[in-house]
Structure 1
């Protein structure tokens, strides 16, 4: 198992408003152990939606997700999130 640092940037979706008008940005950073980058991403997104639901009934829209494999004594390696168009490398 590898360790991954997952950064999710999201916003609350309010009825009748755009992301900019909603005004409540969320940056969620978490380090998890997972088999691969996809599972780490999904695990953090489930936690993000669950924790946000406890605070507010407004649904959360995810804008971007960055997954980095954390290695001891080395710089993190960014993993490609296949569900997004933008590839960070």
Structure 2
């Protein structure tokens, strides 16, 4: 990612990070965006998505169009195993 970001910067271009899903995939996209020196914008959809309801303490909320990077371990938010259980399918 660092090489791609530097190449974009050298070419006078920038990264537009898309993050239209919810839950963990959106957290991963947020971390990629934060690490990119050539970031122009992070696309972030604010729609109801049950995958955003599986974290202890809730999901990220934008303030004046900005997101604060979560500071917990890993991707920054802790999974609520009780909430994940309702999406578990057992065969």
Which protein has the bigger helix share? 2
> With structure 1 as the length reference, what TM-score do the two structures score?
0.29
> With structure 2 as the length reference, what TM-score do the two structures score?
0.29
Which protein is bigger by CA-based radius of gyration?
A: 2
Which protein has the bigger strand share? 1
* Greater length-normalized contact order (CA 8 Å, ≥ 6 residues apart): 1
